[in-house]
Structures are given as C-alpha cells and as structure tokens.
Structure 1
C-alpha cells in the first residue's frame, strides 16, 4: 500500500496508511495472471476503506492483442472516504448558502 500512499503529501499519506492498517482483517486480495517478470497480470486489493486495481491491458491504439506488462492501468479509490458518491455541491450549498439551500 505504501507504493500508492507515497504519492500523497506526508499528512494524507499517514492518514491513508493508518486507515488501511485499521482494516487489515477485512482486506482481501485477488490475483489473475502470471507471476514472471514479463507476464501480464491483474490484482485487486479491497477493504472497507480502499479499492486498488492494477491491470495490464491489451492495446487500443497499440498493436498488442493480449494484455502486456508495458500497458498498465491503475486505480486507487477510498469508497467510504468519500472520493466518489459524495454530493459535494449539496454539501457546499448547505454549508455556505444555507438560506438558498433550505427546502431542497
């Protein structure tokens, strides 16, 4: 997880790692594909506080018909941390424009 956390500033990285460590008993890992240096593979790590996917892809504009380790997509989401699914506009209106937001 530190590989993904190190891209964050120190404070958020520490908070990210703390939340991950608190949920280690509820963390699951899935792996599909090879394990050799040149093998394509996919993995998913998920818990109540994080979803990480690493996926070797086939080419869209490249010539590889099969997934290759040089064409990688990754995602890191914090589903219960509000990185998606949170209505930021509604929160902003309620916090900063309560009179206009009343009744919505």
Structure 2
C-alpha cells in the first residue's frame, strides 16, 4: 500500500512539475493542496486539508488573481498522450461539462 501511495505521488509530482506559476509560493501551495486532495480523494476541501489553516490557504490560493484554470491544468495539458503510456496502468480521463470559474462574478 505504501508503495502505491509513493507511485501515485510520484505521478502527481510529474504533473505538477510541468506547471509554471508566476509566484513560487503558489507552486508550493498548489503542490501541497494537490497532495492533500490526492490522498483524501473524494473528500471535500476542508476535510482533505484536515485543519483550518490549510483550508484557508487552499481557498486563498484558488481565489488568487494570479491563478486561473489554465495555470492549474497546464501540467496535464502539456503532456502528450504518449507520455502516459510509460506507466502501463489504467488512465482516468474526464471531461468537465460545466462552466467553472475561480473568480467571482
């Protein structure tokens, strides 16, 4: 089980490393948030974050003017489909059919 967690976090790190943030703090916070969400998959943001400070940091990151959907998903969008074949495992694909935005208004 621990090996699976390390493998999945390694994959997650590869995806996050492909993302570029204008602020190094955003990159650090995004990595931390993604790890918490990955390990707490299916949980709400506050439950995955486990404490008030981490939850507040997550919401602050997601509402930041310097963060948008393109920034968050660029790591996944940059990787060609052939890049996923090296794992030889099941690939989960999703399509978001809702209109979403991280900024109010």
Same-fold call, TM > 0.5? Answer: no
TM-score by length of 2: 0.26
Structure number with the higher strand fraction is 1
Structure number with the higher helix fraction is 2
Bigger radius of gyration: 1
TM-score by length of 1: 0.26
